[in-house]
Structure 1
Protein backbone atom coordinates (compact mmCIF):
# COMPACT_ATOMS: atom_id res chain seq x y z
CA UNK A 1 0.00 0.00 0.00
CA UNK A 2 1.67 3.19 -1.22
CA UNK A 3 -1.24 5.59 -1.45
CA UNK A 4 -4.04 7.02 0.63
CA UNK A 5 -7.24 4.95 0.96
CA UNK A 6 -10.46 6.63 2.06
CA UNK A 7 -12.90 4.50 4.05
CA UNK A 8 -16.39 5.02 5.47
CA UNK A 9 -16.82 3.24 8.83
CA UNK A 10 -20.05 2.32 10.61
CA UNK A 11 -22.47 4.97 11.84
CA UNK A 12 -21.55 5.91 15.38
CA UNK A 13 -25.12 6.63 16.48
CA UNK A 14 -26.30 3.16 15.43
CA UNK A 15 -23.47 1.50 17.32
CA UNK A 16 -24.24 3.71 20.31
CA UNK A 17 -27.69 2.10 20.44
CA UNK A 18 -26.11 -1.37 20.27
CA UNK A 19 -23.68 -0.41 23.04
CA UNK A 20 -26.53 0.82 25.22
CA UNK A 21 -28.56 -2.37 24.68
CA UNK A 22 -25.57 -4.57 25.59
CA UNK A 23 -24.91 -2.52 28.71
CA UNK A 24 -28.56 -2.65 29.78
CA UNK A 25 -28.67 -6.41 29.06
CA UNK A 26 -25.60 -7.00 31.18
CA UNK A 27 -27.06 -5.08 34.09
CA UNK A 28 -30.32 -7.02 33.76
CA UNK A 29 -28.46 -10.35 33.83
CA UNK A 30 -26.62 -9.26 36.96
CA UNK A 31 -29.92 -8.59 38.67
CA UNK A 32 -31.20 -11.99 37.58
CA UNK A 33 -28.06 -13.57 38.99
CA UNK A 34 -26.94 -15.58 35.97
CA UNK A 35 -23.25 -16.35 35.46
CA UNK A 36 -23.18 -14.93 31.94
CA UNK A 37 -23.81 -11.33 33.07
CA UNK A 38 -20.18 -10.28 32.55
CA UNK A 39 -20.17 -11.18 28.84
CA UNK A 40 -22.41 -8.35 27.52
CA UNK A 41 -20.75 -5.85 29.85
CA UNK A 42 -17.28 -6.78 28.61
CA UNK A 43 -18.50 -6.59 25.01
CA UNK A 44 -20.02 -3.17 25.70
CA UNK A 45 -16.72 -1.90 27.14
CA UNK A 46 -14.79 -3.21 24.13
CA UNK A 47 -17.36 -1.65 21.78
CA UNK A 48 -16.96 1.74 23.48
CA UNK A 49 -13.30 1.88 22.44
CA UNK A 50 -14.33 2.02 18.77
CA UNK A 51 -16.23 5.31 18.98
CA UNK A 52 -14.47 8.24 17.28
CA UNK A 53 -15.42 11.78 16.31
CA UNK A 54 -13.87 13.48 13.28
CA UNK A 55 -14.06 17.27 13.32
CA UNK A 56 -14.09 19.44 10.16
CA UNK A 57 -10.71 19.62 8.37
CA UNK A 58 -9.35 16.74 10.44
CA UNK A 59 -8.68 13.11 9.62
CA UNK A 60 -8.03 9.75 11.26
CA UNK A 61 -5.52 7.22 9.98
CA UNK A 62 -6.12 3.59 11.02
CA UNK A 63 -3.71 0.68 11.46
CA UNK A 64 -4.57 -2.89 12.32
CA UNK A 65 -1.58 -4.68 13.86
CA UNK A 66 0.84 -2.58 11.79
CA UNK A 67 -1.11 -2.74 8.52
CA UNK A 68 -2.58 0.43 7.02
CA UNK A 69 -6.38 0.12 6.82
CA UNK A 70 -7.52 3.52 5.58
CA UNK A 71 -8.25 7.15 6.36
CA UNK A 72 -11.39 9.04 7.34
CA UNK A 73 -11.57 12.65 6.15
CA UNK A 74 -15.32 13.24 6.35
CA UNK A 75 -16.36 14.79 9.65
CA UNK A 76 -18.92 13.02 11.81
CA UNK A 77 -19.46 10.44 14.58
CA UNK A 78 -18.30 6.91 13.68
CA UNK A 79 -17.52 3.50 15.06
CA UNK A 80 -14.51 1.48 13.94
CA UNK A 81 -12.83 -1.75 14.92
CA UNK A 82 -11.79 -1.33 18.58
CA UNK A 83 -8.41 -2.92 17.77
CA UNK A 84 -7.52 -0.21 15.24
CA UNK A 85 -4.60 2.05 16.08
CA UNK A 86 -5.79 5.59 15.45
CA UNK A 87 -3.65 8.57 14.43
CA UNK A 88 -5.04 12.08 14.15
CA UNK A 89 -3.77 14.32 11.33
CA UNK A 90 -5.04 17.86 10.83
CA UNK A 91 -5.98 18.94 7.30
CA UNK A 92 -6.17 22.64 8.16
CA UNK A 93 -3.91 25.26 6.58
CA UNK A 94 -0.95 26.21 8.76
CA UNK A 95 1.53 29.07 8.82
CA UNK A 96 5.25 28.57 9.20
CA UNK A 97 7.50 31.58 9.74
CA UNK A 98 11.07 30.36 9.41
CA UNK A 99 14.02 31.69 11.35
CA UNK A 100 16.23 34.34 9.82
CA UNK A 101 19.06 32.51 8.08
CA UNK A 102 22.43 33.92 7.08
CA UNK A 103 23.15 32.77 3.53
CA UNK A 104 25.19 33.94 0.55
CA UNK A 105 23.47 35.31 -2.53
CA UNK A 106 24.60 34.64 -6.09
CA UNK A 107 27.36 37.24 -5.82
CA UNK A 108 28.61 35.83 -2.52
CA UNK A 109 27.25 38.63 -0.35
CA UNK A 110 25.99 37.46 3.08
CA UNK A 111 22.28 38.22 3.53
CA UNK A 112 19.68 37.53 6.21
CA UNK A 113 16.54 35.90 4.83
CA UNK A 114 13.40 34.19 6.13
CA UNK A 115 10.24 32.85 4.53
CA UNK A 116 6.55 32.64 5.35
CA UNK A 117 4.98 29.35 4.27
CA UNK A 118 1.29 28.39 4.17
CA UNK A 119 0.83 24.63 3.90
CA UNK A 120 -1.50 21.74 4.69
CA UNK A 121 -1.55 17.97 4.58
CA UNK A 122 -2.96 16.61 1.33
CA UNK A 123 -2.04 12.90 1.48
CA UNK A 124 -2.39 11.44 4.98
CA UNK A 125 -0.65 8.17 4.05
CA UNK A 126 2.55 9.95 2.98
CA UNK A 127 2.42 12.34 5.95
CA UNK A 128 2.01 9.46 8.40
CA UNK A 129 4.34 6.82 6.96
CA UNK A 130 6.73 8.23 4.33
CA UNK A 131 8.46 10.62 6.77
CA UNK A 132 9.28 10.33 10.44
CA UNK A 133 7.69 13.64 11.52
CA UNK A 134 6.05 15.68 8.79
CA UNK A 135 6.07 18.93 10.80
CA UNK A 136 9.84 18.74 11.34
CA UNK A 137 10.20 17.74 7.70
CA UNK A 138 8.43 20.96 6.64
CA UNK A 139 10.76 23.11 8.75
CA UNK A 140 13.99 21.50 7.59
CA UNK A 141 13.09 21.36 3.90
CA UNK A 142 11.82 24.95 3.91
CA UNK A 143 15.14 26.16 5.31
CA UNK A 144 17.00 24.15 2.68
CA UNK A 145 14.84 25.61 -0.11
CA UNK A 146 15.46 29.17 1.14
CA UNK A 147 19.21 28.60 1.15
CA UNK A 148 19.09 27.32 -2.42
CA UNK A 149 16.89 30.23 -3.53
CA UNK A 150 19.29 32.82 -2.10
CA UNK A 151 22.19 31.28 -4.04
CA UNK A 152 20.24 31.52 -7.31
CA UNK A 153 19.77 35.31 -7.41
CA UNK A 154 21.73 38.40 -6.35
CA UNK A 155 20.38 40.60 -3.60
CA UNK A 156 20.37 43.64 -5.87
CA UNK A 157 21.29 44.63 -9.41
CA UNK A 158 24.69 46.39 -9.55
CA UNK A 159 24.89 47.67 -13.12
CA UNK A 160 28.08 49.58 -12.33
CA UNK A 161 29.99 46.30 -11.99
CA UNK A 162 28.45 44.60 -14.98
CA UNK A 163 25.82 42.61 -13.08
CA UNK A 164 22.62 43.06 -15.01
CA UNK A 165 20.42 40.29 -13.61
CA UNK A 166 16.77 40.77 -14.47
CA UNK A 167 15.61 38.97 -11.30
CA UNK A 168 16.90 39.99 -7.87
CA UNK A 169 15.84 39.06 -4.36
CA UNK A 170 15.01 42.65 -3.45
CA UNK A 171 13.03 43.87 -6.46
CA UNK A 172 11.57 40.77 -8.17
CA UNK A 173 9.12 39.79 -5.44
CA UNK A 174 6.64 37.88 -7.61
CA UNK A 175 9.23 35.93 -9.60
CA UNK A 176 11.22 34.99 -6.50
CA UNK A 177 8.06 33.91 -4.65
CA UNK A 178 7.02 31.68 -7.56
CA UNK A 179 10.44 30.04 -7.65
CA UNK A 180 10.44 29.57 -3.88
CA UNK A 181 6.94 28.06 -3.89
CA UNK A 182 7.88 25.62 -6.67
CA UNK A 183 11.08 24.59 -4.91
CA UNK A 184 9.37 23.97 -1.56
CA UNK A 185 6.45 22.16 -3.17
CA UNK A 186 8.82 19.71 -4.89
CA UNK A 187 10.60 19.02 -1.61
CA UNK A 188 7.44 18.55 0.47
CA UNK A 189 5.54 16.40 -2.03
CA UNK A 190 7.28 13.32 -0.62
CA UNK A 191 5.48 13.95 2.68
CA UNK A 192 2.06 14.56 1.09
CA UNK A 193 2.22 18.29 1.87
CA UNK A 194 0.53 20.87 -0.34
CA UNK A 195 2.10 24.34 -0.50
CA UNK A 196 -0.56 27.05 -0.63
CA UNK A 197 1.75 30.07 -0.55
CA UNK A 198 5.44 30.80 -0.05
CA UNK A 199 7.05 34.22 0.05
CA UNK A 200 10.03 35.98 1.58
CA UNK A 201 9.18 37.40 5.00
CA UNK A 202 12.47 39.16 5.77
CA UNK A 203 15.40 40.19 3.59
CA UNK A 204 18.41 42.33 4.45
CA UNK A 205 22.17 42.37 4.17
CA UNK A 206 24.05 40.73 7.01
CA UNK A 207 25.19 43.07 9.75
CA UNK A 208 28.88 42.95 8.82
CA UNK A 209 28.28 44.44 5.35
CA UNK A 210 25.02 46.33 5.91
CA UNK A 211 26.70 49.74 6.43
CA UNK A 212 28.98 49.34 3.43
CA UNK A 213 26.11 48.32 1.18
CA UNK A 214 24.00 51.21 2.44
CA UNK A 215 26.77 53.66 1.51
CA UNK A 216 27.04 51.99 -1.89
CA UNK A 217 23.33 52.35 -2.51
CA UNK A 218 23.48 56.00 -1.43
CA UNK A 219 26.43 56.63 -3.75
CA UNK A 220 24.59 55.00 -6.64
CA UNK A 221 21.55 57.15 -5.95
CA UNK A 222 23.70 60.31 -5.79
CA UNK A 223 25.43 59.48 -9.08
CA UNK A 224 22.09 58.85 -10.75
CA UNK A 225 20.72 62.14 -9.41
CA UNK A 226 23.82 64.03 -10.59
CA UNK A 227 23.46 62.48 -14.01
CA UNK A 228 19.90 63.78 -14.27
CA UNK A 229 20.92 67.21 -12.99
CA UNK A 230 23.77 67.55 -15.48
CA UNK A 231 21.57 66.33 -18.32
CA UNK A 232 18.93 68.91 -17.45
CA UNK A 233 21.51 71.68 -16.98
CA UNK A 234 23.04 71.04 -20.43
CA UNK A 235 19.59 71.27 -21.99
CA UNK A 236 18.88 74.55 -20.20
CA UNK A 237 22.24 76.07 -21.23
CA UNK A 238 21.66 75.00 -24.83
CA UNK A 239 18.19 76.53 -24.77
CA UNK A 240 19.54 79.77 -23.28
CA UNK A 241 22.18 80.13 -25.97
CA UNK A 242 19.65 79.44 -28.72
CA UNK A 243 17.23 82.04 -27.35
CA UNK A 244 19.96 84.68 -27.03
CA UNK A 245 21.11 84.03 -30.57
CA UNK A 246 17.56 83.97 -31.97
CA UNK A 247 16.51 87.28 -30.41
CA UNK A 248 19.85 89.08 -30.99
CA UNK A 249 19.95 90.20 -27.40
CA UNK A 250 23.72 90.06 -27.23
CA UNK A 251 26.48 89.02 -29.63
CA UNK A 252 28.72 86.46 -27.93
CA UNK A 253 31.98 85.19 -29.30
CA UNK A 254 33.27 81.72 -28.48
CA UNK A 255 35.17 82.88 -25.41
CA UNK A 256 32.14 84.63 -23.93
CA UNK A 257 29.94 81.62 -24.73
CA UNK A 258 32.38 79.39 -22.87
CA UNK A 259 32.33 81.72 -19.85
CA UNK A 260 28.53 81.84 -19.91
CA UNK A 261 28.26 78.06 -20.14
CA UNK A 262 30.69 77.65 -17.25
CA UNK A 263 28.75 80.07 -15.05
CA UNK A 264 25.38 78.51 -15.85
CA UNK A 265 26.65 74.97 -15.18
CA UNK A 266 28.02 76.07 -11.80
CA UNK A 267 24.69 77.68 -10.89
CA UNK A 268 22.53 74.77 -12.10
CA UNK A 269 24.67 71.88 -10.84
CA UNK A 270 25.94 73.26 -7.56
CA UNK A 271 24.83 71.84 -4.20
CA UNK A 272 24.42 75.34 -2.72
CA UNK A 273 22.90 78.56 -3.97
CA UNK A 274 25.35 80.57 -6.05
CA UNK A 275 26.48 84.00 -4.82
CA UNK A 276 26.26 86.51 -7.69
CA UNK A 277 29.28 88.72 -8.43
CA UNK A 278 28.71 91.93 -10.37
CA UNK A 279 31.32 92.77 -12.94
CA UNK A 280 31.37 96.56 -13.56
CA UNK A 281 34.23 96.41 -16.06
CA UNK A 282 34.83 94.34 -19.14
CA UNK A 283 35.05 90.60 -19.35
CA UNK A 284 38.85 90.73 -18.90
CA UNK A 285 38.97 93.31 -16.09
Structure 2
Protein backbone atom coordinates (compact mmCIF):
# COMPACT_ATOMS: atom_id res chain seq x y z
CA UNK A 1 0.00 0.00 0.00
CA UNK A 2 1.32 3.49 -0.77
CA UNK A 3 2.43 5.55 2.19
CA UNK A 4 0.08 8.37 3.15
CA UNK A 5 1.32 11.91 2.85
CA UNK A 6 2.06 13.60 6.16
CA UNK A 7 0.15 16.73 7.11
CA UNK A 8 1.70 20.08 6.33
CA UNK A 9 4.01 21.33 9.05
CA UNK A 10 2.76 24.66 10.32
CA UNK A 11 5.31 27.38 10.79
CA UNK A 12 5.48 29.55 13.88
CA UNK A 13 6.98 33.00 14.09
CA UNK A 14 9.98 33.45 16.38
CA UNK A 15 12.19 36.40 17.07
CA UNK A 16 15.17 36.79 14.78
CA UNK A 17 18.50 38.42 15.60
CA UNK A 18 19.95 41.39 13.78
CA UNK A 19 22.81 43.74 14.52
CA UNK A 20 22.52 47.45 15.11
CA UNK A 21 22.67 49.03 11.68
CA UNK A 22 24.24 52.26 12.90
CA UNK A 23 27.21 50.41 14.38
CA UNK A 24 27.72 48.55 11.12
CA UNK A 25 27.37 51.85 9.27
CA UNK A 26 30.35 53.12 11.26
CA UNK A 27 32.26 49.95 10.33
CA UNK A 28 31.44 50.56 6.65
CA UNK A 29 32.67 54.15 6.95
CA UNK A 30 35.91 52.91 8.52
CA UNK A 31 36.42 50.41 5.70
CA UNK A 32 35.82 53.15 3.13
CA UNK A 33 38.39 55.40 4.76
CA UNK A 34 40.83 52.48 4.89
CA UNK A 35 40.43 51.73 1.18
CA UNK A 36 40.87 55.40 0.27
CA UNK A 37 43.98 55.54 2.40
CA UNK A 38 45.44 52.50 0.64
CA UNK A 39 44.77 53.99 -2.77
CA UNK A 40 46.38 57.37 -2.09
CA UNK A 41 49.05 56.65 0.52
CA UNK A 42 50.04 53.00 0.46
CA UNK A 43 50.73 52.35 -3.21
CA UNK A 44 54.05 50.47 -3.48
CA UNK A 45 56.91 52.32 -5.06
CA UNK A 46 58.42 51.27 -8.38
CA UNK A 47 61.24 49.50 -6.62
CA UNK A 48 58.98 47.55 -4.24
CA UNK A 49 59.24 43.80 -4.17
CA UNK A 50 56.72 41.49 -5.75
CA UNK A 51 55.56 40.38 -2.28
CA UNK A 52 54.81 43.97 -1.27
CA UNK A 53 52.80 44.52 -4.43
CA UNK A 54 50.83 41.31 -3.89
CA UNK A 55 50.15 42.30 -0.28
CA UNK A 56 48.91 45.72 -1.38
CA UNK A 57 46.59 44.31 -4.02
CA UNK A 58 45.30 41.63 -1.64
CA UNK A 59 44.70 44.13 1.17
CA UNK A 60 42.94 46.52 -1.22
CA UNK A 61 40.76 43.75 -2.64
CA UNK A 62 39.92 42.50 0.85
CA UNK A 63 38.94 46.01 1.98
CA UNK A 64 36.73 46.57 -1.07
CA UNK A 65 35.12 43.12 -0.73
CA UNK A 66 34.50 43.68 2.99
CA UNK A 67 32.86 47.03 2.26
CA UNK A 68 30.60 45.48 -0.39
CA UNK A 69 29.58 42.64 1.92
CA UNK A 70 28.85 45.01 4.79
CA UNK A 71 26.75 47.28 2.57
CA UNK A 72 24.63 44.33 1.36
CA UNK A 73 23.52 43.45 4.90
CA UNK A 74 21.70 46.73 5.64
CA UNK A 75 17.89 46.95 5.73
CA UNK A 76 15.35 49.33 7.26
CA UNK A 77 12.36 48.37 9.42
CA UNK A 78 9.52 50.89 9.64
CA UNK A 79 6.77 50.90 12.31
CA UNK A 80 4.36 47.96 11.91
CA UNK A 81 6.73 46.25 9.50
CA UNK A 82 8.69 43.00 9.83
CA UNK A 83 11.46 41.19 7.98
CA UNK A 84 11.56 37.40 7.64
CA UNK A 85 15.16 36.13 7.73
CA UNK A 86 16.20 32.88 6.03
CA UNK A 87 19.60 31.21 5.71
CA UNK A 88 19.94 28.87 2.73
CA UNK A 89 16.18 28.17 2.85
CA UNK A 90 16.01 27.73 6.63
CA UNK A 91 13.83 30.08 8.65
CA UNK A 92 15.99 31.98 11.14
CA UNK A 93 13.41 34.29 12.69
CA UNK A 94 11.53 37.53 12.16
CA UNK A 95 12.93 40.96 12.93
CA UNK A 96 10.35 43.51 14.10
CA UNK A 97 12.68 46.05 15.74
CA UNK A 98 12.33 49.44 14.08
CA UNK A 99 15.22 51.35 12.56
CA UNK A 100 18.37 50.49 10.61
CA UNK A 101 19.31 46.82 11.00
CA UNK A 102 22.07 44.61 9.65
CA UNK A 103 22.43 40.86 9.07
CA UNK A 104 25.06 38.78 7.35
CA UNK A 105 24.90 39.29 3.59
CA UNK A 106 24.23 35.62 2.85
CA UNK A 107 20.98 35.80 4.81
CA UNK A 108 17.85 36.53 2.76
CA UNK A 109 15.47 39.26 3.94
CA UNK A 110 11.77 39.45 3.00
CA UNK A 111 9.84 42.43 4.29
CA UNK A 112 6.16 42.03 5.26
CA UNK A 113 3.74 44.75 6.27
CA UNK A 114 2.03 44.13 9.62
CA UNK A 115 -0.29 47.11 9.11
CA UNK A 116 -4.05 46.88 8.73
CA UNK A 117 -5.22 46.16 5.18
CA UNK A 118 -8.63 47.13 3.87
CA UNK A 119 -10.34 45.11 1.13
CA UNK A 120 -13.69 45.80 -0.48
CA UNK A 121 -14.81 42.63 -2.22
CA UNK A 122 -16.52 42.41 -5.57
CA UNK A 123 -20.27 41.77 -5.75
CA UNK A 124 -20.92 38.04 -5.43
CA UNK A 125 -24.11 36.38 -6.65
CA UNK A 126 -25.26 33.63 -4.29
CA UNK A 127 -28.44 31.88 -3.15
CA UNK A 128 -29.75 32.66 0.31
CA UNK A 129 -31.21 30.08 2.71
CA UNK A 130 -34.49 29.94 0.75
CA UNK A 131 -32.76 29.65 -2.60
CA UNK A 132 -33.39 33.23 -3.73
CA UNK A 133 -30.54 34.65 -5.85
CA UNK A 134 -29.02 37.70 -4.20
CA UNK A 135 -25.98 39.93 -4.64
CA UNK A 136 -23.68 40.64 -1.69
CA UNK A 137 -20.37 42.39 -1.12
CA UNK A 138 -18.35 43.06 2.01
CA UNK A 139 -15.55 45.12 3.46
CA UNK A 140 -12.79 43.37 5.45
CA UNK A 141 -10.00 44.83 7.61
CA UNK A 142 -7.17 42.31 8.12
CA UNK A 143 -3.52 42.19 9.15
CA UNK A 144 -0.64 39.74 9.33
CA UNK A 145 -0.22 38.34 12.85
CA UNK A 146 2.25 35.50 12.16
CA UNK A 147 4.80 36.37 9.47
CA UNK A 148 6.20 32.84 9.29
CA UNK A 149 2.81 31.34 8.45
CA UNK A 150 2.09 34.09 5.92
CA UNK A 151 5.38 33.47 4.06
CA UNK A 152 5.90 29.73 4.37
CA UNK A 153 2.45 28.11 4.82
CA UNK A 154 0.67 29.65 1.81
CA UNK A 155 1.94 30.46 -1.66
CA UNK A 156 0.71 34.06 -1.87
CA UNK A 157 -0.97 35.25 1.31
CA UNK A 158 -2.59 38.33 -0.28
CA UNK A 159 -4.21 36.27 -3.03
CA UNK A 160 -5.15 33.69 -0.41
CA UNK A 161 -6.98 36.39 1.57
CA UNK A 162 -8.93 37.56 -1.49
CA UNK A 163 -10.10 34.04 -2.35
CA UNK A 164 -11.06 33.17 1.23
CA UNK A 165 -13.06 36.39 1.60
CA UNK A 166 -15.23 35.40 -1.35
CA UNK A 167 -15.60 31.84 -0.04
CA UNK A 168 -16.49 33.03 3.46
CA UNK A 169 -19.00 35.53 2.07
CA UNK A 170 -20.73 32.76 0.11
CA UNK A 171 -20.85 30.51 3.18
CA UNK A 172 -22.35 33.11 5.52
CA UNK A 173 -24.75 34.44 2.88
CA UNK A 174 -26.21 30.97 2.34
CA UNK A 175 -26.91 30.44 6.05
CA UNK A 176 -29.70 33.00 6.35
CA UNK A 177 -32.62 34.26 4.26
CA UNK A 178 -32.50 37.70 2.71
CA UNK A 179 -35.62 38.83 4.56
CA UNK A 180 -38.10 37.48 7.11
CA UNK A 181 -41.06 36.16 5.12
CA UNK A 182 -42.72 34.43 8.05
CA UNK A 183 -43.95 35.38 11.48
CA UNK A 184 -40.92 33.74 13.11
CA UNK A 185 -38.24 35.98 14.55
CA UNK A 186 -35.24 34.61 12.65
CA UNK A 187 -31.86 35.98 11.67
CA UNK A 188 -31.90 37.60 8.24
CA UNK A 189 -29.24 39.20 6.09
CA UNK A 190 -31.17 42.46 5.87
CA UNK A 191 -32.48 42.75 9.39
CA UNK A 192 -29.66 41.26 11.50
CA UNK A 193 -26.58 43.15 10.36
CA UNK A 194 -24.65 42.82 13.64
CA UNK A 195 -25.18 39.06 13.84
CA UNK A 196 -24.28 38.48 10.18
CA UNK A 197 -21.18 40.69 10.36
CA UNK A 198 -19.94 38.87 13.44
CA UNK A 199 -20.51 35.49 11.75
CA UNK A 200 -18.57 36.69 8.72
CA UNK A 201 -15.64 37.84 10.87
CA UNK A 202 -15.53 34.51 12.75
CA UNK A 203 -15.78 32.54 9.50
CA UNK A 204 -12.92 34.48 7.90
CA UNK A 205 -10.71 34.15 10.97
CA UNK A 206 -11.15 30.37 10.86
CA UNK A 207 -10.33 30.25 7.15
CA UNK A 208 -7.30 32.58 7.36
CA UNK A 209 -5.80 31.08 10.49
CA UNK A 210 -3.58 28.80 8.40
CA UNK A 211 -1.95 31.89 6.84
CA UNK A 212 -1.37 33.72 10.12
CA UNK A 213 -3.97 36.37 9.21
CA UNK A 214 -6.33 38.04 11.70
CA UNK A 215 -9.55 39.76 10.60
CA UNK A 216 -10.36 42.75 12.83
CA UNK A 217 -13.55 43.88 11.10
CA UNK A 218 -15.90 42.43 8.49
CA UNK A 219 -19.28 43.67 7.32
CA UNK A 220 -21.68 43.59 4.39
CA UNK A 221 -21.58 46.72 2.23
CA UNK A 222 -23.98 45.63 -0.51
CA UNK A 223 -27.09 43.48 -0.26
CA UNK A 224 -29.78 43.22 -2.92
CA UNK A 225 -31.89 40.72 -4.77
CA UNK A 226 -30.52 39.61 -8.12
CA UNK A 227 -31.92 41.60 -11.06
CA UNK A 228 -34.01 38.69 -12.37
CA UNK A 229 -36.17 38.58 -9.23
CA UNK A 230 -35.77 42.11 -7.90
CA UNK A 231 -39.06 43.31 -9.41
CA UNK A 232 -41.09 40.38 -8.09
CA UNK A 233 -39.57 40.64 -4.61
CA UNK A 234 -40.22 44.39 -4.54
CA UNK A 235 -43.91 43.79 -5.29
CA UNK A 236 -43.98 41.16 -2.56
CA UNK A 237 -42.45 43.58 -0.07
CA UNK A 238 -45.01 46.19 -1.04
CA UNK A 239 -47.80 43.66 -0.56
CA UNK A 240 -46.43 42.68 2.86
CA UNK A 241 -46.37 46.35 3.83
CA UNK A 242 -49.97 46.85 2.72
CA UNK A 243 -51.11 43.74 4.59
CA UNK A 244 -49.30 44.81 7.74
CA UNK A 245 -50.85 48.28 7.55
CA UNK A 246 -54.33 46.84 6.96
CA UNK A 247 -53.91 44.45 9.86
CA UNK A 248 -52.97 47.28 12.17
CA UNK A 249 -55.94 49.37 11.02
CA UNK A 250 -58.40 46.51 11.52
CA UNK A 251 -57.07 45.66 14.98
CA UNK A 252 -57.34 49.30 15.99
CA UNK A 253 -60.85 49.58 14.55
CA UNK A 254 -62.03 46.50 16.45
CA UNK A 255 -60.77 48.00 19.69
CA UNK A 256 -62.52 51.30 18.97
CA UNK A 257 -65.81 49.53 18.19
CA UNK A 258 -65.61 47.49 21.38
CA UNK A 259 -64.99 50.63 23.41
CA UNK A 260 -67.87 52.47 21.71
CA UNK A 261 -70.39 49.66 22.31
CA UNK A 262 -69.26 49.23 25.90
CA UNK A 263 -69.56 52.99 26.51
CA UNK A 264 -73.08 53.14 25.03
CA UNK A 265 -74.20 50.16 27.08
CA UNK A 266 -72.63 51.29 30.37
CA UNK A 267 -73.96 54.84 30.10
CA UNK A 268 -77.45 53.61 29.13
CA UNK A 269 -77.50 55.75 26.03
CA UNK A 270 -79.14 53.11 23.88
CA UNK A 271 -80.15 49.48 24.32
CA UNK A 272 -79.36 47.45 21.20
CA UNK A 273 -80.40 43.90 20.44
CA UNK A 274 -78.02 41.52 18.73
CA UNK A 275 -79.21 42.40 15.21
CA UNK A 276 -78.87 46.16 15.70
CA UNK A 277 -75.55 45.66 17.48
CA UNK A 278 -74.26 43.68 14.50
CA UNK A 279 -75.45 46.40 12.12
CA UNK A 280 -73.72 49.10 14.16
CA UNK A 281 -70.51 47.07 14.28
CA UNK A 282 -70.64 46.65 10.52
CA UNK A 283 -71.23 50.36 9.93
CA UNK A 284 -68.46 51.41 12.31
CA UNK A 285 -65.97 48.97 10.73
CA UNK A 286 -66.78 50.34 7.28
CA UNK A 287 -66.25 53.90 8.47
CA UNK A 288 -63.00 53.13 10.31
CA UNK A 289 -61.44 50.75 7.77
CA UNK A 290 -62.55 52.31 4.50
CA UNK A 291 -60.11 54.04 2.17
CA UNK A 292 -62.58 56.84 1.48
CA UNK A 293 -64.64 59.03 3.75
CA UNK A 294 -68.04 57.53 4.53
CA UNK A 295 -71.20 59.42 3.53
CA UNK A 296 -73.55 59.57 6.54
CA UNK A 297 -77.23 58.65 6.16
CA UNK A 298 -79.59 60.48 8.50
CA UNK A 299 -82.37 58.28 9.92
CA UNK A 300 -85.46 60.41 10.58
CA UNK A 301 -87.39 57.55 12.22
CA UNK A 302 -86.41 55.05 14.86
CA UNK A 303 -83.67 52.49 14.86
CA UNK A 304 -86.25 49.80 14.02
CA UNK A 305 -87.72 51.54 10.96
- TM-score by length of structure 1 reads 0.93
1:201 & 1:173 partners in 2: Cα distance? Answer: 10
Give the 3-state SS of the residue equivalent to 2:298 in structure 1. Answer: coil
Q: Aligned ranges for residues 1-285 of structure 1 at < 5 Å?
A: 2-31=11-40, 32-33=42-43, 34-35=56-57, 36-159=59-182, 164=184, 166-281=186-301
- After superposition, the CA RMSD in angstroms is 1.7
Give the 3-state SS of the residue equivalent to 2:105 in structure 1. Answer: coil
Query: Which moves more between the two structures, 181-190 or 201-210?
Result: 201-210
Alignment: residue pair count: 282
Task: Determine if contact 2:17/2:93 at 8 Å carries over to the other structure.
Answer: no
Task: Determine if contact 2:135/2:226 at 8 Å carries over to the other structure.
Answer: yes
1:191 & 1:134 partners in 2: Cα distance? Answer: 7
Query: Which moves more between the two structures, 65-74 or 34-43?
Result: 34-43
Give the 3-state SS of the residue equivalent to 1:159 in structure 2. Answer: coil
1:246 & 1:54 partners in 2: Cα distance? Answer: 88
Larger radius of gyration: 2
Task: Determine if contact 1:234/1:265 at 8 Å carries over to the other structure.
Answer: yes
Unpaired runs of at least 5, structure 2: 1-8, 44-55
2:185 & 2:73 partners in 1: Cα distance? Answer: 61
Task: Determine if contact 2:172/2:200 at 8 Å carries over to the other structure.
Answer: yes
Task: Determine if contact 1:26/1:39 at 8 Å carries over to the other structure.
Answer: no
Task: Determine if contact 2:16/2:85 at 8 Å carries over to the other structure.
Answer: no
Task: Determine if contact 1:106/1:153 at 8 Å carries over to the other structure.
Answer: yes
Query: Which moves more between the two structures, 39-48 or 105-114?
Result: 39-48
